[in-house]
Structure 1
């Protein structure tokens, strides 16, 4: 969890990490196996969800609220594991002894994160309807810059030259894409809708960066636990609030009345319509679970880096499945996004090396 190193820096005279935002790795193969598994959830869930979201609109889906709902409604699939781990992690007596102020703070945090997730989901739904998958995916590369910005204020994120270089490359990647947008408009989309899709994609990326930074703050300041149970708490209750808020939007907009008609006219049939939405919900849930778990294990910035690393694969998949154009500008944009990830990864390598050197030095001094 992100507050581990903060505890170590304040209460232990031992070596400290090179940056306050850096969390030194443990020599625990099982833990790193879990981290790799969470990264697979993020990458696989993201690619599958993006492809299925586009399929929904390509084959006749029209409801932005429905697509928003499936981004958060998949949390029941982890409830069985949640209740099993709940019995092992905390006793009922301990839960009753928790201070009311602590419960109130947790409720506020979950409601805040849930509403933020609902707003983020709706913005992305609009973007997916009006923009090609590859365009949305590459705009989303700027989420790392937004996350770093919010993490600076919320989590005291420190910036090294390599991190700044990473943010610069990812920002230029998105700027190049915007400059090339005139040739990428989907057939039949008006200028107004295309611009709206671009604006929603950018704001959706910004709110996602804020959400992930806020998750790290919640782990450090509100949940304050070493138990993996807090990851399940955050995922489930954030998703529950987002589901309620999105359901209200679905009924208030009147789009729920069109669902039967939408199902009937779906080009792939009623069964495929249901399976597309179910698959999208499961994919987004895998992405959310993996992302929150990475925030818990390492940091919000690392979770975002994994997400950004997977973005170049979405345009490739879109080119193969939906025949989106892969222009030279998009190719350059993808290369810059990958370069930004490599820059951050190299910073992680330097942090690991410096931490090991500091640890060895402290060991030598103590033995002397």
Structure 2
């Protein structure tokens, strides 16, 4: 059961990771200009998580009834994890904005290469935040992969710059996308650190609850950005 869920989640993650940037760039290529809107779309599908959570609750309730346990907790998450999830969610919202901003001025190929440098930053943050251990082989792999993707991204220069994007916009898009890679590299070990610090058993249901809170917080962050930019007033034209 656990292996099946793991495979399913990996497939969904692969589809989203590959398809998301392509759809975002397609939106910009067809005249889209609302960066906050595209940031919001990244986590707007989070209500889908309610479906497996309801199924998990029903399963727990049936099990408790068979064991003559009267009360079944609807929510397993406790306050410390809830607060940490909100903070992480706000960081994810900011990261989504940086990523959407970069895609507005960079081609998908360059964006993917820049995001690939996340591996190196991830290794650094993991070492300091969760005491991740590294072997000489893993260090060598991280350095080579990060350096390779970084060089390829820089090598592209203005050659792959979209025709309607100025040099300044291209450079800013490059730097903002790099910021997105660094920020997400920080978020991943932050999540692992949260798992280690909370005094709860980490179950599949608890992880789903945490994902739901993070995505809701990220979506709210982007909604405030949309309100500030007046995206809702211009939504009818899109």
Matched, 1:163 2:151: no
Closer, same or farther: CA 183–117 of 1 in aligned 2, 3 Å: same
* Whole-angstrom distance in 1 between the partners of 2:2 and 2:105: 41
CA contact (8 A) 1:89 1:229 kept: no
Q: Tell me what 1:141 maps to.
A: 116
1:196 positional shift: 0.9
SS of aligned partner of 1:158: coil
CA contact (8 A) 1:110 1:237 kept: yes
Report matched runs for 1:139-288 at 5 Å: 139-176=114-151, 177-222=153-198, 224-261=200-237, 263=238
Q: Deviations over 1:314-348 (max 9, x none)?
A: xxxxxxxxxxxxxxxxxxxxxxxxxxxxxxxxxxx
Matched, 1:126 2:116: no
* Whole-angstrom distance in 2 between the partners of 1:93 and 1:199: 52
Closer, same or farther: CA 103–33 of 1 in aligned 2, 3 Å: closer
1:219 positional shift: 1.7
Give structure 1 regions of 4+ aligned residues with deviation exceeding 6 angstroms.
none
Q: Tell me what 1:77 maps to.
A: 48
Q: Deviations over 1:37-69 (max 9, x none)?
A: 222122111111111111111111110000000
Q: Which moved more, 1:138-147 or 1:121-130?
A: 138-147
What is the TM-score normalised by the length of structure 1? 0.59
Greater CA radius of gyration, 1 or 2?
1
Q: Tell me what 2:67 maps to.
A: none
User: Could you list the runs of 5+ residues in structure 1 that have no partner in the other structure?
Assistant: 1-29, 264-368
* Whole-angstrom distance in 1 between the partners of 2:148 and 2:126: 21
* Whole-angstrom distance in 2 between the partners of 1:227 and 1:103: 13
Report matched runs for 1:3-18 at 5 Å: none
* Whole-angstrom distance in 2 between the partners of 1:86 and 1:212: 27
CA contact (8 A) 2:46 2:212 kept: yes
Q: Tell me what 2:2 maps to.
A: 31
Q: Deviations over 1:136-159 (max 9, x none)?
A: 011111111111111112211011
* Whole-angstrom distance in 1 between the partners of 2:186 and 2:208: 20
